[in-house]
A and B are shown apart, each in its own frame.
Chain A
Amino acid sequence: MILEEEESMAEEKKEGAAATSADVAEAKRTPGGGITRRGLFIGVGSTAVLLGLGGLRYAGHNPINRPPGGTDEAHLVSGCIRCERCYEACPRQAIVPAKIEDGLLGMRSPMLDFNTGNYCDFCYEENGGVPLCVQVCPTEALELPADYTVGNPETGETGDIIIGTAEIDPRTCLAYRLTGCRDCYDACNYGAIELKDEGGANPIPYVVEDKCNGCGACQAVCLSLSSGSIKSSERAIVVRPIQG
């Protein structure tokens, strides 16, 4: 730091000296009304960089699942200052900071990751159905309408906060290989997964899209990737974000 000080001072000195030798009146004037030439250079350079970063808005990022109240993607990106308060607040650790691989624009903004075995219950259990992430968000980047109902695991109601919709990939789902797996069916609290051939030897799950609120419980329990024989980058059931 000290060395840097020296250099910047030296530069300013040089400037001053040059100005005096050129014209005494000239020395009184600094370009940009008080900002030195070096300062002007810093200002212009940084503004250019920040405008370039702003352009990331058009680059966008991969669609990712957002916490409740964050599904209006444009609003979330506008509001979020990446303070990580929602990340801290989530009692189920369902929220993770989005990675750079999903796009620079979304880096460190909140994303729901169901592959960790955690899912979102809209804080039904921990906070009586008032999402804590929305409650703590200081910028209202996560924001819910005044009137809403959340998914209710007791009555099986879907609620009107929809994170996304689950989707089963028949090529990787273990049930399609007649293993009898029905973990996702068991995990769903809202009756959004039904079984073809229920009671039969090989029940096969499918998603009832109208009932699914994207809570991720099914994805959180899906075993397809741990069975070893299946090569895929994703679990057989994944929640796809709703297109806001």
Chain B
Amino acid sequence: MKETKNAAAVETASKKDGAKAMDAKLKTRKLRTAVGAVVFVGMAAGLIAGVSMGTLSGFGWDTFSLLCPLGALGTMIATKTMIPRAVVSLLLIAALVLVFGRAFCSWLCPTMLIDRVRDFFRSPKKRRELAEKKNSQIKAVSQQEIEGLKAAKAGHACGACGKCQPVKHGKVDSRHAVLGGALLSTAIFGFPVFCLVCPVGLSFATVLVIWRAFAHGDATIGLILIPAMLVIELVVLRKWCSNFCPLSALMNLVGRFSRTFVPVINDEKCLETARATSCSKCAEACEADINIRHPEFGLRTMADCTRCRNCVDVCPTKAITMPIFVGKKAGKTVVEIPEPVMDDDLRPSLD
């Protein structure tokens, strides 16, 4: 019973200042925001000043280009020709994703910056509410898992309670359907259809259209329409990156084979496995909707890990690392329930 009390104490504490405490711990997130902002501002400034380096849709100088993989596919399907620079870009990006997974999403993509801006403008109350909601869900999962395992030990099947249903992870999800739709439309109508509405392109287009309005008096409805499209995609459509983005779908296809820099939990240190205490801070912090502690309960799987390091940063016992190479697929560790050995000073620190 002692651990239940402990867990309850942890929970109340985390409800009080969980959101703030977690934000303070996300050191890499600050770095990522800075990296993303520097790259975006640099490229946007280049666009304005006419420095040839391209945008994230087509980065490069002179004749060198690193094309967006979806643009590369789209343009080749639409023109029905092999385009050398597109093929080279596809191969290069596949290699990068194989090594770094969807790192683009959490380190460079402008939607990540837009998200940060949204966070910034949320009232502290709203932020706390959101954090608490997520916290209570993840908590429910982790408590059920721990209880379930104990029950299993005692001869009961897990899932008898069944409050939290595991998510069935198919080989493909809704994003792949969007990707298929985009490529189908491109094949039928013969132009890279998705490029019209791509949030990455629209982010740069927003800067450009605003700057042109000021510098050249170029008034156009685009001034309203371009940002409006971004708002529809990133705010109205819920969870763009996990549910809609066809680029994320493409990266997922390659990312599932990645064995490098994948976060792994050391079960001997993890509070849940070593102390049978509900924690799952890592799952709460994950921006890619992965539950790294209980993978079958997360919306997405490790194939979508963006190497954001949130989980590494928040883990109270520093149980998560991102080794250069992981032999087998991470996240398959078996939760063993040891005898509870919870001391007060081993409780997860929440500051």
Contacts and interface: CB of A to CB of B under 8 A. Distances in A.
A176 B221 CA distance: 36
A138 to B, nearest CB: 4
B171 to A, nearest CB: 6
B188 interface: yes
Contacts of A90: 50
A99 B65 contact: no
A54 B193 contact: yes
A202 B184 CA distance: 60
What interface size band does chain B fall in?
A: 35 or more
Nearest to B194: A50
Contacts, number: 240
Interface string A37-60: 011111110111111011111000
A13 B177 contact: no
Contact of A81 (B46, B75, B130): B75
B106 to A, nearest CB: 13
B86 A139 contact: yes
Interface string B158-177: 00001011011111111011
What interface size band does chain A fall in?
A: 35 or more
B51 A85 contact: no
Contacts of B188: 51, 54
A152 interface: no
Interface stretch (B55-63, B306-314, B315-323, B325-333): B55-63
Interface string A1-34: 1111111110011001100100000000010111
Contact of B185 (A1, A2, A54): A54
Given A30-B170, A84-B55, A116 B216 contact: yes
A101 interface: yes
A97 B239 contact: no
Given A12-B167, A88-B50, A43 B238 contact: no
B68 to A, nearest CB: 7
B189 A85 contact: no
Chain A interface helix/strand/loop/mixed: helix
Contacts of A107: 196, 222
B243 A42 contact: yes
B78 A53 contact: no
A55 B60 CA distance: 31
Nearest to A2: B130
B185 A39 contact: no
A74 B189 CA distance: 11
Given A20-B162, A83-B57, A38 B185 contact: no
Contacts of B118: 1
A1 B180 CA distance: 25
B131 interface: yes
A156 B74 CA distance: 40
Given A8-B239, A96-B212, A99-B220, A42 B177 contact: yes
B131 A2 contact: yes
Contacts of A78: 75, 78-79, 190-192
A123 interface: no
A108 interface: yes
A7 to B, nearest CB: 7
A136 B60 contact: yes
Interface string B194-215: 1111000100110011001000
A57 B65 contact: no
Contacts of B191: 54, 57, 77-78, 80, 105
Contact of A51 (B74, B78, B83, B181): B181
Contacts of A99: 218, 220, 222
A197 B255 CA distance: 72
B13 to A, nearest CB: 19
B180 A81 contact: no
A55 B174 contact: no
Nearest to B208: A97
Nearest to B65: A138
Given A82-B57, A84-B204, A104-B196, A46 B181 contact: yes
Contact of B164 (A6, A13, A97, A116): A13
Contacts of B238: 4, 7-8
Contacts of A84: 47, 54-55, 57-58, 204, 208
B30 interface: no
B143 interface: no
A214 B225 CA distance: 32
A79 interface: yes
Given A34-B168, A34-B173, A50-B193, A83 B54 contact: yes
Which 9 A-B pairs have CB atoms at the shortest separation, nearest pair first? A34-B170, A43-B177, A47-B181, A83-B58, A16-B165, A54-B189, A39-B174, A138-B65, A81-B71
Interface of A: 1-9, 12-13, 16-17, 20, 30, 32-36, 38-44, 46-51, 53-57, 74-75, 77-85, 87-91, 93, 96-97, 99-101, 104-105, 107-108, 116, 135-136, 138-141
25 contacts: A1-B115, A1-B118, A2-B133, A5-B239, A8-B299, A9-B137, A20-B165, A32-B170, A35-B173, A39-B173, A39-B243, A44-B177, A50-B181, A50-B193, A53-B185, A53-B197, A55-B189, A57-B191, A78-B191, A80-B192, A81-B71, A84-B54, A85-B60, A105-B191, A138-B86
Given A34-B173, A141-B75, 12 more contacts: A4-B238, A9-B299, A13-B165, A33-B171, A39-B177, A42-B178, A42-B243, A49-B181, A54-B191, A80-B191, A90-B50, A136-B54
